[in-house]
Structure 1
Amino acid sequence: MNNTKNFSQILLHRVLPIVLGIIVGYFIYSCFLMERLPYFSTSKAEYFVSILCLAGSIVGCTVIFELIINRAISYFLFFLLCVLYFAMLLIVLFMRYPLPERVFVFNPLTGLFDAFSGRQMLIQSLLNLLVFIPIGFFVKKLPYLKLLLFSVCLSLLIEVIQIVFRLGFFDSFDILLYVIGIHLGYLIFQKLKLPIQKRNMRSSPK
């Protein structure tokens, strides 16, 4: 009986989140992410981004199902999710077609009006905000003034790198979106405590 119970516990708490994560993650990738992948300068980079998106979708969904079923996530899955997130962030921000010239948009209202000029621009603006929310998890223990300084400096640095290497516009509205995203993550993860298990994955779940 004990062996049967242990086996059923392993299936429920270890195997089921992975299986559901693979199924739902692939569905999200094939129906949503695949059509919205940005274009990159080389086909090899585009292929690599596709793999990262698929892996990130599967791992992210697995983490969600682990939280639902186990009310905690394994340290390994959390670490893997962080690696995939930062890799994807670097690629999306800095692996683009170089622009023919440098463009500066200093008025954030210009970017705001552009964001509502069409569906594609609105989606892009929302993604610019949402993609920086996870950063808030890593700075949630900072006092607010240090958080504000960090978010502004990081956002400025990203825009400066993009304009220096002509990887995008220097857009003050993007800076504002990055700062807001980091602040939202800061507030969310101060309220939401992620239960991360550092125990041996082979140990039986509680």
Structure 2
Amino acid sequence: LRSGETGWPPARTFLLLALFADVFPTTDKTHPVTTPAALFLGNVLAHCAVRSRREAVAAVVASALAAAYSAPAGRVFPEAISLLTGLIHAAAGDEEVAWSEGLATRVAEQVGGPWLGLDSKDDAADDDSDFSFVERRGLSLPSMIATFGASSAFSKKDPDWLPGGGTARTAALAAAASTLNVLLSPARATPSAREWLAPARD
């Protein structure tokens, strides 16, 4: 990786992986297309660091794709579960409790901060007069996928910029919680489920 890069794939890669999950069977034990795609997603979720809000959205999208590949077959995707619990736990941090408290060191280093959380600074940024109504309104998660990697003036100036501001972060956090619930359906019967979920529950 070049200096400052974290390894997250561009939006076109996410769209291609989503297409593979729709076209090819994800329930086969092994498949020449979906098995390598799932392994690629696992590597992305295990090794790519989150260093901005837009990368946090990318992590949620990648985890949703992991659920599309694993949930129909009842498989467990531990990389996605670990990253999502870290993002959700970090978003709940406040001035009295550090966002990383209770997270494993590896997960805390990967998550990097409370990217999906809201604070007064975020609220002030959302009121910036430079943002038009179109840029400030709440957008869907697919719209945020399209915005990830977009060459807009705001995204170049601020890597934390998202269309919709605080509304977009709230949508991403809700999507993270919903995706985690899907991923946990086959994982709840495993002995390690309680350990995985501890940060998000606390």
Larger helix share, 1 or 2 = 1
TM-score by length of 2: 0.31
* Structure possessing the higher radius of gyration over alpha carbons: 1
TM-score by length of 1: 0.30
